[in-house]
Amino acid sequence: MPVAQGIRNALSKALGGVSPAEAPLEHPSELKNGDYATGIALKYAKQAGKKPRELAEEIAGKLGNIDGVERIEVAGAGFINFYLAPAELAKAVENAREEKTWGRNERNKGKKIMVEYTDPNPFKEFHIGHLMSNAIGESVARLIEFTSANVKRANYQGDVGPHVAKAIWGLQKLGLDATDAKALGKAYAAGASVYEGDKKARAEIDAINALVYDRSDKEINRLYDVGRKASLEHFEEIYKMLGTTFDFYFFESETASEGLKLVRKHPEVFVKSEGAIVYHGPHTRVFITSKGLPTYETKELGLAKMKAEKWTFNDSITVTAHEQSGYFEVVIAAMREVMPELAPKIRHVSHGMMRFAEGKMSSRKGNVITGESLLAELTEAAGERAKESRAEDASKLAEAVAVGAIKYQILKQASGRDIIFDRERALSLEGDSGPYLQYAHVRAFAVVEKAISQGLTLRIPKGQTLEISESARNLARLLHRFPEAVERAAKELEPHLLTNYLLEFASAFNRWYANEQILDGTPAAAHKVALTDAIRATLKNGLWLLGIPTPEKM
């Protein structure tokens, strides 16, 4: 049984009438105040008719022995602090070293969960929003996997719609090559730039949009098919670099017909209005235009139906920008009326926007800093440093550092918050950055490799405690918290909670590394290296959960 659960059970028994789940328990902000702390006495003092400190002392006296806890203290106005036993710390170190899935739990065992994210649109560039959705979505998927759920990754791509028509118009007018993925972005920008102000061009683009749906024009079909194929193949190259492999691909060209059937099947829900079909929910939204074309909302209904038919899931999570929160609110409200059994399973996780010194970029105007260009820029910058590293493949290291730099900057914020991206800080090896965490892993890995080359035995025999300094023991105490950090981040679908933990943990390791010789030739060296190996494993698993590569040399 985990120590935290043992403490909650003991608190429940000592207070009486309180379930273990209702016993508040947290990690103190400072290790000097223990490994766990509860304010249960403050919470129930009034109900018990006692002062919080008095009740805390009474509870502490009834707790008895708790597995994994060395001592219990009452502090302040009525807090009860718990300190882990040395054997519990030694057990955590060995678990970290021996278990490949160290940090895993069974919170969602037996559940099937689909996570949809990234969702780029063929014929447009892979923009910053797609990069953010990918980083958050991939981390959320990995965190949920660590709760023992069966996870499937889905990617929903807009391969029909006005943006496609604008790109095809641009291809025709500019004579660009539809097989060139980069040319497609230029073609889209050209079409988007004239759509609002040029009535003739707008009419031409609208006509192309209709032809894309009914596939009645051979030349439009050719440009569409070639351009779609080029876009999707190019996106796969980006997914590979980001470490993502999708299980299911859904396309608007497929969801549109399914959504249209659903909308037309329920005239009591979707009503006619000025030639269009609308839904009067939290906001009034058009689901079928006056020209008979499905909107995003209709396609989203079709998508939900297709997802459920493809794979029977308990939950489906979609990661998109918070700009779409209102849109999702309407779609889910409509879904409750036409697919009531499916609506409760659909969840939306929103993320903020990434901004630079130049402000918010616009793909419509063609002045966008794309997700792809940001990856390329940081890879080039990291490549200069990688040339001086000990890595066997400098280009591979540069790519790993660039991906780590970008993902960390995205994931260190709560999902709904905007990000100001700082290129210099992102690549820094000092402090709050992805490369800083990667370098901490490299340091730990190097120590362990050197110890192994010297023939040092790392294993701590069962029942033994760690013969290490107080600073090293405090590291083991932080390491012990890793599984709980993972579980909380997964429960709240917030990777930043794990990111914050890993930064604190890596910082503590780096301070210890700088102030204490690990391979010092003393009997304690084996225990210090065992701790370092556990730190390496914790950083490796933690970074994997964030989708950040873990190089072994930098």
Alpha-carbon distance of 471 to 490, in angstroms, equals 29
Helix (H) or strand (E) holding 82: strand 79-84
The three state secondary structure string of 249-316 is: EEEHHHHHHHHHHHHHHCCCCEEEECCEEEEECCCEEEEECCCCCECHHHHHHHHHHHHHHHCCCCEE
**How buried is residue 150: exposed, middle or buried, by Cβ count under 10 Å (0-12/13-18/19+)?**
middle
Strand order in the sheet with 284-288: 270-273, 276-280, 284-288
Residue 355, beta-bridge partner list: 420
Strand, helix or coil for residue 318: strand
> Residue 362 has what pLDDT?
43
95 by Cβ neighbours in 10 Å (0-12 / 13-18 / 19+) ranks as middle
Give whole-number Cα distances, 435 to 242, 440, 458, 497, 553, in Å: 15, 8, 27, 18, 12
For position 512, what pLDDT does the model report? 96
Specify the CATH number of the domain 117-355: 3.40.50.620
Identify the helix (H) or strand (E) that includes residue 355. strand 354-355
Residues of the chain within CATH 1.10.730.10 domain(s) are: 409-546
In this structure, the dihedral spanned by the alpha carbons of residues 215, 217, 220 and 225, taken in order and rounded to 10 degrees, is 50
Tokens of 199: 């009535």
3-state secondary structure of 80: strand
Q: Are strands 315-321 and 112-116 parallel, antiparallel or unpaired?
A: parallel
H-helix or E-strand spanning residue 42: helix 40-48
C-alpha to C-alpha distance for 550 and 441, rounded to whole angstroms: 7
The boundaries of every CATH 3.40.50.620 domain in the chain are 117-355
pLDDT, residue 357, reads: 54
Please write down the HEC assignment for all residues of 151-175.
Answer: EEEEEEECCCCHHHHHHHHHHHHHC
* Strands of 69-75's sheet in order across: 36-38, 79-84, 69-75
Q: If you count them, how many residues does the chain have? A: 554
The torsion of the CA quartet 140, 141, 146, 151, rounded to 10 degrees, works out to 150
- Token pair of 12 as six digits: 């429940």
Strands 276-280 and 270-273: antiparallel
Asked if residues 229 and 212 have their Cβ atoms less than 8 Å apart, the reply is no
Please give the helix or strand (H or E) that residue 57 lies within, else none.
Answer: helix 52-62
The DSSP secondary-structure symbol of 324 reads: G
Q: 3-84: which CATH architecture?
A: 2-Layer Sandwich (3.30)
Query: Which pLDDT belongs to residue 248?
Result: 98
By the 8 A CB rule, do 371 and 131 touch?
Answer: yes
Q: Answer for the pair 532, 444: CB distance below 8 angstroms, yes or no.
A: yes
Total H helices, total E strands in the chain: 20, 13
Query: Which tokens belong to 257?
Result: 């017909």
Q: What is the pLDDT of residue 368?
A: 59
DSSP string, 414-481: -TTS-EE--HHHHH-SSSSSHHHHHHHHHHHHHHHHHHHHTT------TTPPP---HHHHHHHHHHHT
Quick one: CA dihedral 354, 360, 361, 363, positive or negative?
positive
Three-state DSSP at 81 gives strand
CATH 1.10.3720.10 fits 409-546, yes or no: no
Domain ranges in the chain with CATH number 3.30.1360.70: 3-84
Rounded to whole angstroms, how far apart are CA atoms 411 and 434?
Answer: 10
What is the pLDDT, as a whole number, of residue 323? 84
Please check whether residue 304 is in contact with residue 342, taking contact to mean a CB–CB distance below 8 angstroms: yes
pLDDT number for residue 358 = 53
Low-confidence ranges of the chain (pLDDT < 70): 357-368, 460-464
Residue 26 tokens, joined: 């947290």
Residue 469 CA from chain centroid, whole number: 35
CB 147 within 8 A of CB 241: no
Taking the C-alpha atoms of residue 187 and residue 234, their distance in angstroms, rounded to an integer, is 16
Model pLDDT for residues 56-88, shown as the tens digit of each residue: 999 999 999 999 999 999 999 999 999 999 999
The predicted structure's pLDDT at residue 173: 95
